[in-house]
Amino acid sequence: MTVDCTRLASGLTVVTQSMPHLESVALGVWIKSGSRNETTDEHGIAHLLEHMAFKGTGRRSARQIAEEIENVGGEVNAATSTETTSYYARVLKDHTSLAVDILADILTESAFDEEELRREKQVILQEIGAANDTPDDVVFDRFSEVAYRDQIIGRAILGTPETVLSFSPGEIRTYLDRNYTTDRMFVVAAGAVDHDEFVREVESRFSTLPTAPGTPPSFEAATYTGGDVRETRDLMDAQVLLGFEGKAYHARDFYCSQILANILGGGMSSRLFQEVREHRGLCYSIYAFHWGFSDTGIFGIHAATGGENLPELMPVIFQELRRASEEIDQQEIERARAQIRAQLLMGQESPAARAGQIARQMMLYGRPIPNEEMMERLEGITISRLTDLAGRLFFDTVPTLSAIGPVERLIPTTDITRSLSRQPARQQRAAS
């Protein structure tokens, strides 16, 4: 299954992977622009634009957009993240042209009707309200806000009720014209697709997209700050997030960070799951993750537990972090590699997963990355690299703590700082 890539004269990049044994095609448009590309006064506009794209064009009403794709058994959706936005569809191979036409229509001819905008603002206000009522959503929003204090990268993607209600059609179009330009957009398809034919379809239907502006849009460089935010609520359980400054996508230790997260909390065999949940029964959910951005990253541990378990839970997590900086078994590395390899190969079996993977690689690295090359990068990760990284991640940066629920018994900030110092654990016990 080869990947073909064509850059059109307009600057738009078209990429396909033919999977001829399938009867369907997953396709989409990925834009290298997200909530981080908003200005200070545009909080939430990237997400609002994603919604409004489906609310009518010069040729189709909102209902016609939905009906045309569903009349042929297809589906269409979109998503906004911190640094990217995507609009994607899945259809049977005979209806690829229709899907391309609809995606092009909503991205080049959106009407941004005042009445539709008024209604969609109310929908997003409900979405914001629902997120605020969901503790495991709130804890992540607060986590980002305190990790990147007073910065656009740390803001919630949805925006606030005040900002969402303030936007006009003109402001939405200004954001679109500034960020949805051909040099930042990738049209990707995987499945039963012919590359040359798909390129012709895209070139014809996306011909009116704006090309790169004289001054490319940019965003402020991220500065990790760390800090502590706690919100006591009358809930059945406590949601706790502990984090540290991670690595950007292009950093040498990015893949090493992914392996470390997997070893610590990437599955039922991981250290945190086994020690905290299985052996001690201190929580019902615990896992580790590593998010990479273009110029920064976040390494985090999320736990959900009863408030009465917090005094015992946090020291055990600190103990596992310190142990990771001192000893890692080769078998743990091999298990993490096997899990990542399986994810890569399983993704090859899904056209939607493959299209998304190719799009992310194009935006981040400018080319598709073969699975073999990905595994080669992972092969270079050694025990010494992992323990050294763990020491630097967990004990050389200011931690970020976000907690919500019955968190009165959560360890004080000063004790967290002391627990995550370079001082050996035995010295800490003696000092206390």
Please confirm, yes or no, whether 50 is among the known catalytic residues.
Answer: yes
Q: Enumerate residues 6+ apart whose C-beta is below 8 A from 421.
A: 395, 428
The one catalytic residue among 23, 38, 42, 50: 50
Q: What 3 state SS string does the chain have?
A: CCEEEEECCCCCEEEEEECCCCCEEEEEEEECCCHHHCCHHHCCHHHHHHHHCCCCECCCCHHHHHHHHHHCCCEEEEEECCCCEEEEEEEEHHHHHHHHHHHHHHHHCECCCHHHHHHHHHHHHHHHHHHHCCHHHHHHHHHHHHHCCCCHHHCCCCCCHHHHHHCCHHHHHHHHHHHCCHHHEEEEEEECCCHHHHHHHHHHHCCCCCCCCCCCCCCCCCCCCCEEEEEECCCCCEEEEEEEECCCCCCCCHHHHHHHHHHHHCCCCCHHHHHHHHHCCCCCEEEEEEEECCCCEEEEEEEEECHHHHHHHHHHHHHHHHHHCCCCCHHHHHHHHHHHHHHHHHHHCCHHHHHHHHHHHHHHHCCCCCHHHHHHHHHCCCHHHHHHHHHHHHHCCCCEEEEEECCCCCCCHHHHHHHCCCCCHHHHHHHC
Residue type, 227: G
The catalytic site residues sit at 50
